[in-house]
Amino acid sequence: MGGGVSGWGGVVGGSPLQKMKQHHMSNRHGTCEYRTYRAWQMMKQRCTNPKTNGYDRYGALGVTYHPAWEAFRVFLADVGLAPTPQHTLDRVESGDYVPGNVRWATHREQQSNLKSNRLITFRGETATHAEWARRCGVTRQALWSRVARRGEQQALILYLEA
């Protein structure tokens, strides 16, 4: 099969998972391809299978995926391979898994995209509390403590202009 992905959409000669495993065994890039395949499988399961971990946060809330992504080869053509083992499938905005609303993101990038994040705007730039703490070179707790005593703007000025 070489390095390509053709043939992964059908079931002739075995299930897509069997084909994926066979391809993985003969391909030096198989790890990223297998991770991509698993991410695609889990996306579908979160949206459709009430017995799957996470269904309550996806399918039960009406989150779906692009109908053409029922076929792995179409998903792969639209989204591409996971760039590294540290990247997982992420929705850019709340809503469905559709072209333009998915990306491969690291854990840190995904944590910056949570609804529960506290956003702080300082000098025209908005970032999460955790990102400001990283930029200031302090822990999130240290920044929270200073924000509680002095307010967001004063705390950031003290750290960034020190």
Residues 20 and 75 in one domain: yes
Residue that is last in its domain, among 86, 102, 136: 86
User: Using CA atoms, how far apart are residues 95 and 101, in angstroms rounded to an integer?
Assistant: 8
154: domain range?
Answer: 119-160
Residues 22 and 81 in one domain: yes
Residues 74 and 126 in one domain: no
- Give the tens place of pLDDT for each residue, 11-48: 445 666 665 555 544 444 455 688 999 999 999 999 99
- Give the tens place of pLDDT for each residue, 92-132: 888 999 999 999 998 877 776 666 667 778 888 887 777 77
Residues 67 and 128 in one domain: no
* Predicted model pTM: 0.59
The residue count of the chain comes to 162
Total domain count for the chain?
A: 2
Q: Is residue 111 part of a domain?
A: no
**Per-residue pLDDT at 33:** 85
As a three-state string, the secondary structure of the chain is CCCCCCCCCCCCCCCHHHHHHHHHHCCCCHHHHHHHHHHHHHHHHHHHCCCCCCHHHCHHHCCCECHHHHCHHHHHHHHCCCCCCCCEEEECCCCCECCCCEEEECHHHHHCCCCCCCEEEECCEEEEHHHHHHHHCCCHHHHHHHHHHHCHHHHHHHHHCC
